[in-house]
């Protein structure tokens, strides 16, 4: 399996710059996700890697081979898209064999490889069924077998699970990871589903208006988002506006309408000077909530507010807290029945490690 390099890729559709000097390096055997708000360029980038689009500028390399001008069928990529485009009236085996017949692989070899691919996706018992007689999840497995049977150089997946119900999605996403890892496949996966990305990716790129906003492991991107869009897109968060008033040991002091907060920049390379306007991103689960009884000024990294609403979700309770102009969403893990805080004054505090500073 090759590594994939996207080098300074730019694509325009008329006035729209869909990709703007995109640089990425995807390692051999890596399960790599492309994420970002609608229209950010995920599908356009995947189509360049598959060979359906030619860029205005830049290159795509599979290992050291420049494939920018190589047509799709000569790139030998396995593809699995949202509409799995199987032929409903043909059998499972014929559907999987198609790519090999096209490549004029000998019949005996086709038979062996189809059987193997069906076994890989645990569908060997279904070879003679018609596609129309399979469930959605089973069809998805066949689409995966069809992508794998050609022994692709890499696997490209565009929203492969979006037609499935929630339970099947969960099952299929671990199945996709299992197969990628078993075969050491280099795979690029486009999705809107951040849970899918957080749970099975090795690394991900978040795109923002055709540019790469951040590349990192799920933990890096979730805990240390570099920008507002990344913080907002991956997981839920609360933003507070503030102004930098100092720095000690990599921790910044920020003045907000709720007093002083200490926090760390999402991007370690970024050193905002004193006076810079910034945003603080703080996840709902990072807060500790307590009844606010005595009137004392809020200590650093805390604020006082009134609980407007509680939503009980079983493992967590979600509180809507109004603090001045701000409305925050806070989670309480393992909530006690009856202790609702609703309508009451609370003090919520957050550790400096959970306060991420991003550009305003």
Decide if 358 contacts 317 (C-beta within 8 A).
Answer: no
- By CB under 6 A, tell whether 40 contacts ligand ATP: yes
Contact 359, 269 (CB under 8 A): no
Quick check: 60 binds ligand ATP (CB under 6 A)?
A: no
Sort residue 42 into left (φ over 0), alpha (ψ -120 to 50) or beta: alpha
| β-strand pairing of 4-13 with 57-62 | antiparallel
- Regarding 41 and contact with ligand ATP (CB under 6 A), the answer is yes
Of 8, 25, 28, 39, the residue at the interface with ligand ATP (CB under 6 A) is 39
Give the integer Cα–Cα distance in Å for 103 and 50: 18
Q: How far apart are the first and last CA of the chain?
A: 41
Burial letters 194-214, b for 16+ CB under 10 A, else e: bebbbebbbbbbbbbebbbbb
Please give the Cα distance from 212 to 56 (Å, whole number): 17
Contact segment (CB under 6 A) with ligand ATP among 36-44, 141-149, 176-184, 230-238 equals 36-44
Residues 192-211 that bind ligand ATP (CB under 6 A): 192
265 lines the binding site for ligand ATP (CB under 6 A): no
Closest distance to ligand ATP from the beta carbon of 45 (Å) = 7
3-state secondary structure of 324: coil
Instruction: For residue 16, state whether it binds ligand ATP (rule: CB under 6 A).
Output: yes
| 13 is a contact residue toward ligand ATP (CB under 6 A) | yes
Which residues partner with 15 through β-bridges? none
Q: Which stretch binds ligand ATP (CB under 6 A): 12-20, 145-153, 252-260, 303-311?
A: 12-20
- Residue whose structure tokens are 């990294």: 301
Question: Which of these ranges, 33-41, 126-134, 138-146, 336-344, lies near ligand ATP under the rule CB under 6 A?
Answer: 33-41
110 vs 187 by CB, closer to ligand ATP:
187
- Kindly state the smallest distance separating residue 52's Cβ from ligand ATP, in Å: 10
- Identify which of residues 19 and 179 has a Cβ nearer to ligand ATP in the complex: 19
Answer for which of 9, 31, 43, 198 binds ligand ATP (CB under 6 A) is: 43
Q: For ligand ATP, which is the closer residue by CB, 42 or 228? A: 42
Nearest Cα neighbor of 348 from 252, 283, 255 is 283
Instruction: Using CB under 6 A, count the residues that bind ligand ATP.
Output: 12
Q: Strands 154-158, 187-190: parallel, antiparallel or unpaired by DSSP?
A: parallel
Residues 163/135, Cβ–Cβ less than 8 Å: no
Q: List contacts with ligand ATP (CB under 6 A).
A: 13, 16, 18, 36, 38-44, 192
């Amino acid at each position: 399996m090759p590594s994939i390099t996207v080098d300074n890729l730019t694509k325009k559709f008329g006035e729209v710059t869909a990709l703007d000097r995109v640089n990425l390096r995807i390692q051999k055997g890596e399960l790599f996700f492309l994420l970002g708000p609608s229209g950010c360029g995920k599908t356009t980038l995947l189509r360049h890697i598959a060979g359906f689009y030619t860029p205005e500028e830049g290159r795509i390399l599979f290992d050291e081979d420049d494939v920018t001008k190589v047509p799709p069928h000569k790139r030998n990529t396995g593809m699995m898209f949202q509409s799995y485009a199987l032929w409903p009236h043909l059998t499972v085996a014929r559907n999987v064999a198609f790519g090999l017949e096209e490549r004029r692989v000998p019949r005996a070899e086709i038979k062996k490889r189809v059987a193997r691919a069906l076994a890989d996706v645990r569908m060997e018992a279904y070879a003679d069924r018609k596609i129309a007689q399979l469930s959605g999840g089973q069809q998805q497995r066949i689409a995966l077998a069809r992508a794998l049977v050609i022994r692709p150089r890499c696997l490209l997946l565009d929203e492969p699970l979006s037609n499935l119900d929630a339970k099947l999605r969960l099952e299929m996403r671990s199945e996709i990871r299992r197969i990628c890892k078993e075969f050491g496949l280099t795979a690029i996966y486009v999705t809107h589903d951040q849970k899918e990305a957080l749970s099975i990716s090795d690394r991900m790129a978040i795109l923002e208006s055709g540019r790469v906003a951040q590349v990192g492991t799920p933990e890096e991107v979730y805990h240390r988002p570099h920008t507002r869009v990344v913080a907002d897109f991956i997981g839920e968060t609360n933003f507070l506006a503030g102004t930098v008033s100092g720095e000690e040991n990599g921790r910044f002091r920020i003045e907000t309408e709720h007093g002083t907060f200490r926090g760390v920049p999402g991007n370690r390379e970024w050193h905002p000077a004193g006076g810079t306007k910034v945003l603080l991103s703080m996840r709902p689960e990072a807060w500790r909530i307590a009844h606010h009884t005595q009137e004392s000024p809020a200590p650093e990294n805390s604020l006082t507010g009134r609980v407007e609403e509680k939503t009980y979700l079983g493992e967590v309770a979600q509180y809507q807290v109004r603090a001045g102009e701000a409305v925050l969403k806070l989670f309480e893990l393992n909530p006690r029945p009856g202790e609702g805080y609703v309508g009451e004054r609370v003090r919520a505090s957050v550790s400096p490690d959970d306060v991420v500073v991003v550009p305003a």
